[in-house]
Amino acid sequence: MLGEGPGVLTMRLLIVSSWLPYPLDNGSRLRAYHLLNHLSRRHLLTLLSFGVPDAPEDLGALRALCGRVETVPPSGLEGQRLGPRGLLSLLPRYYVQSDSAQMRARVAAALPGHDAAVGLQANAARYLADWCDRIPAVFDEVEVGVFRDRYAREPRLRARLRHGLTWWKFRRFIRRLVDRFEQATVVSDLEREHLRAMGCDAGRITVVPNGIEIPPVSPPAVRAPRLVYPGSVTYSANLDAVRYFVREVFPLVRRARPDFTFCVTGATDGVEVSELAAVDGVTFTGRLPDVSSLMAESAACVVPLREGGGTRLKVLHGLAVGTPVVSTSKGIEGLEVEPGRHLLVGDGPEAFAAQVLAAVNDRDLGGRLASAGRQLVQERYAWGPIAATLERVIEQAVASHGSRRGGRAAP
């Protein structure tokens, strides 16, 4: 330990990340970056991360927070055929194919001299698992709901059987991984319940939700007749949501409000969206330097998610900029929001379209939703208190490590 007291660096923390936490263009990067930002104010951080920087300034932004930053390119094994050992492995296929000997070596070399370690998501936490007897370690953002839902939806029998085996392997992998760590975190009570049902020790699992940096924007007096979805369609759940909205919901909205347009922000790299973009009134902007202003000027933020897991940063983003939000029930899983007070919820095309029209046609309703939603974000989803919760989890891991592991010292 480095010391104690206000303003004193108290721990040396090794952070292993599944994503390079910059640029801030997806939910995982946003979470990692803001947690690092707040932890760096009291602790000395070393970051080992998968990823290749898009630009030199990406590493500069991270080096401003961390004493040391090292990156490891993804292994590049995804999509290759598995050998006999891989096919017979009890690990899920992805984790067999993407295993990185380079990351294992970097973790082993970096551990000495650190007081604790944090793995951000499963693909990073697995490289710390072999060291949990030697150093207090936290598995941050354990997520299983998205995978459970994916395997449950497959209609074909053969595919269901194949996916059922994969789901069994994944549950076994996550359960054993969580058990190795002193503490684990999830983004919602729902995810915590999923892990408890899988046999994980819920007493060592803490909810550390996603948050949002409150953007310095003010909603205009008159909003543009535009609906916005702030998500990258390179993520399958976002692509499904956009297809669903464009094909089944937007025509119902345009029937009542032909002046309205639909705007999708975020990356489209490698995704065929020409058919969707050809629909009258639909625009794909690609990455934008300032999504917050576009959202604040829009009549509503729509979140028509039907799959996926975690906490929905796009919902929080809409609430934070003071834009009325309309979501599916799936889209608000894990959020402490009250439909009708903070946002509107509609499941099914007709119900969703009706809620969109209510939000944009009734100015008083839209104003109440925007005000209550922004207040909720300020009170419950600011990054400072969220990072403080993670910090307490790390401290609990350090405090309990000796007794749980038989007093073994860190390397």
Same domain? 356 vs 245? yes
Same domain? 394 vs 369? no
Number of domains in the chain: 2
Give the global pTM.
Answer: 0.83
Burial of 369 (0-12, 13-18, 19+ CB in 10 A): buried
Strands 183-186 and 282-286 come out as unpaired
CATH code, domain with 252: 3.40.50.2000
Phi, psi of 227 (to 5 degrees): -105, 140
Structural domain including 87 reads 12-211+383-404
Same domain? 177 vs 294? no
Closest CA to 15 of 99, 100, 141, 101: 141
Residues of the chain with pLDDT below 70 are 2-9, 76-88, 146-160, 309-311, 404-411
Residue 1 lies in a domain: no
Same domain? 106 vs 201? yes
Q: Tell me: the pLDDT tens digits for 288-328?
A: 888 999 999 999 999 999 987 655 789 999 999 999 999 99
